[in-house]
Amino acid sequence: MQDERKKGGKWWQFHVQNYGEDFEYAEFAPMFKAELFKPDQWAQVFRNSGAKYVVLTSKHHDGFCLWPSKEANKTWGRRWNSVDIGPERDLLGDLGEAVRRQGLKMGFYYSLYEWFNPLWLTDKSRYIEEHLHPQFKDVVQRYKPSVIFSDGEWDLPSSEWKSEELLAWLFNESEARDDVVINDRWGKGIRHKHGGYFTTEYGAGLEGSTHPWEENRGMGHSFGYSRAENLSDYKSARELILMLIDLVSRGGNLLLDIGPTGDGRIPVIMEERLIQMGDWLKVNGEAIYGTSPWRESRQWSDGEKPEVGYGKAFKAKYDINQLTGKPSDDHAVIKAFFTSKGNTLYAITPRWPDREFVLEDVRCSKNTVVTMLGTQKHLKWKVENGNLIIRIPKLSVDEVPCKDAYVLKLTNVN
């Protein structure tokens, strides 16, 4: 916003027009009421979406905390947490309890640095020693997170953040030590090098890795709720489902952002997307949960493969519609994604398979059984030239098990 102000950018112009040039950021805090926040309803939506863990933003780069942080008030010199101003409620604690009642894991996002914290701007060492470390220990001890997504690390090396010291406390002394996992954002230059799991953001994820990783993105362009976004800015349920399948086939997880409104609601379009993903997972979840990458993550059609920005940490080229669209003579698309569990192979097709679907170089035995998840039918198959040819039955509209992607389950595969 400071740069926008200097340049007279469109966001600053909007601010001036609607709030006034002298309206400071801190003045938004009492306007943030979350009066319609219903944590149990949120948690039910998350469970119905098929999610297994929830990560709430406990504090972003503005330093405003969603729990009663005394460090926030002290170093900012004002009431700067959701219990002392605005909602007057422990949002992090209330949601955590609701999520755990639904049987899900609860974690939080936590920014190491704060854009305009007075102590950060004047004495970074004191900020780290007097603000960051005690505040982090407070939020961990209060809520015993299963996941911690750290961020805002890029200004300093981990030695200056004293991350090693902080994490030694986390894993050896804290109340969360027996369950917590952490990401890779604890110091400048360590992403994809150190951390419990690696992260990418609004990108394609990693092409494949023996180390756990996760792609993070919103349904639209923003991690927060943007009133300026319209329907065309949101990913469709099909796109989100195919992203999930693609990421899992390469060994990754998807952390899908939900941007709530200031009055505490999950926008209806976001809730709808979550429920649509959950409906697909109710039928096909066994091809996602607890699976591992197969020796090949996908099967391509003939033609030139499109460019994808695998491995980049932030905003890489990744168009799932292009990757799974209709093939042409010169353009290759993904015909099937693969996941596995023991001697079971799952082939997930992004389009309804033809009457005969060919899987290349799949080694079967006489005991191999092929089914489609969501139906009870055993599918006929044969092997020709090293390829598995599966006969797809005719199904009525009412018999088709789901939309958007279909899972062929092959048991007893060598």
Q: What is the mean pLDDT of each run of 10 residues along the chain (414 residues)?
A: 73 92 96 98 98 98 98 98 98 98 98 97 98 98 98 98 98 98 98 97 93 97 93 97 98 97 98 98 98 96 94 94 90 97 97 95 92 94 93 93 97 85
Distance CA 196, CA 203 (A): 20
Written as one letter, the residue type at 406 is Y
Query: What is the per-residue pLDDT for 354?
Result: 87
Contacts of 126 (CB under 8 A, 6+ apart): 119
SS3 of 101, please?
A: helix
> Cα–Cα distance between 159 and 62 in angstroms, integer?
23
1 within 8 A of 11, measured Cβ to Cβ:
yes
- Quote the CA–CA distance of 38 and 40 in Å, as a whole number: 6
For residue 377, the model assigns a pLDDT of: 86
What domains are defined for the chain?
Answer: 2-286 (3.20.20.80), 298-413 (2.60.40.1180)
Phi-psi region of 81 (alpha: psi -120 to 50; beta: other; left: phi over 0): beta
Reading the block at residue 236, the tokens are 């469709």
Residue for token pair 């005719």: 394
What pLDDT score was predicted for residue 2? Answer: 66
pLDDT of residue 178: 97
User: CA-CA distance, 310 to 318, in Å (whole number)?
Assistant: 8
Size (the chain), residues: 414
| Whole-number pLDDT of residue 209 | 80
Non-local CB neighbours of 354 within 8 Å, separated by 6+ positions: 392
pLDDT, residue 191, reads 97
pLDDT, position 386 = 87
DSSP letters, 219-274, are SSS-SS--TT--GGGSPPHHHHHHHHHHHHHTTEEEEEE----TTSPPPHHHHHHH
Cβ contacts of residue 151 below 8 Å, gap of 6+?
Answer: 61, 109, 110, 111, 112, 185
CB-based burial label for 6 (10 Å; 0-12, 13-18, 19+): exposed
